[in-house]
């Protein structure tokens, strides 16, 4: 049996995937934005994926974590951005257009605004048109991933708030946007494939991180982000999952509970390797 593995179609995932085949992986890869991968994972259509940390919290009884990896910020993240013509404190009652690609970041936005900026009655909705149009029309809007990086390069009239940076300023902790999530039933059905994958993923990431410059030189997104842009973006992301990440994640889940975004607190359960 082969593994069906999700792949986030953002440039932040390149360090996990570029060398995966070279490291021996011969299963299937299914690409999508985080919200699509969350859906496939919840439905059992893929076995494992880097996916929204909030998705883990919603369905944690069905999932386990691959230890040691995440997609996190430790300060600015550069690709989870709120574009707003007004200050954060003034967003109560105003409409905020949010990306349909996210699960974690839309809840992080709510937590930041409610817990630290005194906002009430937030009106967050995925717009009918594109989020980019809302930004161009001077509205408040949340983008993630490559579309956020591109929109920041275009700039615009309003302010740009980096949600990783805001989280760090208020908590002093990393923020965990994505975790490597495995379905429990897949872990039970394909234990050997999974332990091979754990080794292949670690090797692939190590190869990528040992020479980010060389990786940037063969990454197509260099056409718009530049090789130096890619390297500095990957360098400031945190792909680890250590004790500080766990504390940041648990605080986020607690604040989601406090603000009515999560019905119960998840247990963090790792696969046995
Ligand atoms: C750091 C990012 O985090 C992403 C945000 C996610 C979410 O909001 O659910 C999910 C996966 C991450 O890749 C990004 O979008 O650039």
Phi, psi (rounded to 5 degrees) for 65: -110, 145
For the stretch 146-191, pLDDT in tens is: 999 999 999 877 899 999 999 999 999 999 999 999 999 999 999 9
Residue 262 reports pLDDT greater than 90: yes
Q: What pLDDT does 134 receive?
A: 95
Q: What is the mean pLDDT of residues 225-232?
A: 98
The protein residue whose alpha carbon is closest to atom 15 in ligand 1 is 145
- Confidence class for position 273, pLDDT limits 50, 70, 90: confident
Residue 13, strand partner residues? none
**Ligand 1 probe mutation, 32, 34, 57, most atoms within 8 A of CB:** 34
* CB-ligand 1 contact for 225 (6 Å cutoff): no
Rounded Cα–Cα distance for residues 85 and 140 (Å):
7
- Confidence class for position 272, pLDDT limits 50, 70, 90: confident
Q: What is the mean pLDDT of residues 69-93?
A: 97
CA dihedral 172, 173, 177, 181 (to 10 degrees): -170
Q: Measured between alpha carbons, how far apart are the two ends of the chain, in Å?
A: 19
Question: Collapsing DSSP states into helix, strand and coil, what is residue 269?
Answer: coil
Identify the burial level of 40 via C-beta atoms within 10 angstroms of its C-beta, where 0-12 means exposed, 13-18 middle and 19 or more buried: middle
Q: Does domain 80-171 have CATH number 3.40.50.12280?
A: no
Among residues 233, 227, 262, 216, the alpha carbon closest in space to that of 106 is found at 262
Among residues 161, 164, 119, 154, the alpha carbon closest in space to that of 140 is found at 161
* CB-ligand 1 contact for 52 (6 Å cutoff): yes
Identify the burial level of 192 via C-beta atoms within 10 angstroms of its C-beta, where 0-12 means exposed, 13-18 middle and 19 or more buried: exposed
- Confidence class for position 1, pLDDT limits 50, 70, 90: confident
Rounded Cα–Cα distance for residues 200 and 208 (Å):
12
Q: What pLDDT does 155 receive?
A: 84
Q: Which atom of ligand 1 is nearest to the CA of 12?
A: 16
Residue ranges of the chain assigned to CATH 3.40.190.10: 4-73+175-258, 80-171
Q: What is the mean pLDDT of residues 97-124?
A: 97
Q: What pLDDT does 107 receive?
A: 98
Among residues 163, 188, 159, the alpha carbon closest in space to that of 84 is found at 159
**Ligand 1 probe mutation, 59, 177, 261, most atoms within 8 A of CB:** 177
Q: Which atom of ligand 1 is nearest to the CA of 72?
A: 1
Q: What is the mean pLDDT of residues 239-248?
A: 98
Residue 256 reports pLDDT greater than 90: yes
- Confidence class for position 59, pLDDT limits 50, 70, 90: very high
CATH number of 4-73+175-258: 3.40.190.10
Residue 142 reports pLDDT greater than 80: yes
Q: What is the mean pLDDT of residues 231-238?
A: 98
As a whole number, the mean pLDDT across the chain is 97
Q: Could you tell me the distance, in angstroms and rounded to a whole number, from the CA of residue 12 to the centre of ligand 1? A: 9
Q: Could you tell me the distance, in angstroms and rounded to a whole number, from the CA of residue 144 to the centre of ligand 1? A: 6
φ/ψ region of 240 (left if φ > 0, alpha if ψ in -120 to 50, else beta) reads beta
Rounded Cα–Cα distance for residues 105 and 178 (Å):
10
- ipTM of the complex model: 0.98
Q: What pLDDT does 69 receive?
A: 98
Q: Give the angle 45-67-169 at the CA atoms, nearest 5°.
A: 105
């Amino acid at each position: 049996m082969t593994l069906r593995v999700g792949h986030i179609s953002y440039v932040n995932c390149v360090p996990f995937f570029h060398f995966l085949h070279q490291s021996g992986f011969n299963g299937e890869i299914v690409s999508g934005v985080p919200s699509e991968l969350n859906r496939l994972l919840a439905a059992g259509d893929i076995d494992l994926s880097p996916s929204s940390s909030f998705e883990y919290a919603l369905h944690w009884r069905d999932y386990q974590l691959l230890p040691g990896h995440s997609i996190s910020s430790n300060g600015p993240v550069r690709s989870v951005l709120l574009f707003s013509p007004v200050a954060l404190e003034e967003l109560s009652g105003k409409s905020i257009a949010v990306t349909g690609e996210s699960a974690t970041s839309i809840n992080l936005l709510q937590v930041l605004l409610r817990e630290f900026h005194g906002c009430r009655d937030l009106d967050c909705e995925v717009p009918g048109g594109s989020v980019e149009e809302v930004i161009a029309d001077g509205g408040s809007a949340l983008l993630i991933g490559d579309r956020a990086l591109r929109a920041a390069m275009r700039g615009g009239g309003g302010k740009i708030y980096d949600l990783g940076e805001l989280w760090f300023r208020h908590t002093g902790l990393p923020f965990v946007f994505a975790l490597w999530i495995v379905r429990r039933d897949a872990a039970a059905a394909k234990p050997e494939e999974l332990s091979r994958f754990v080794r292949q993923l670690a090797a692939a990431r190590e190869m990528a991180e040992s020479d980010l410059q060389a990786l940037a030189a063969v990454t197509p997104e260099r056409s718009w982000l530049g090789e130096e842009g890619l390297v500095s973006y990957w360098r400031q992301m945190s792909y680890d999952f250590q004790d500080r990440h766990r504390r940041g994640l648990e605080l986020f889940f607690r604040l989601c509970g406090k603000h009515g975004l999560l019905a119960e607190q998840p247990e963090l359960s790792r696969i046995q390797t």
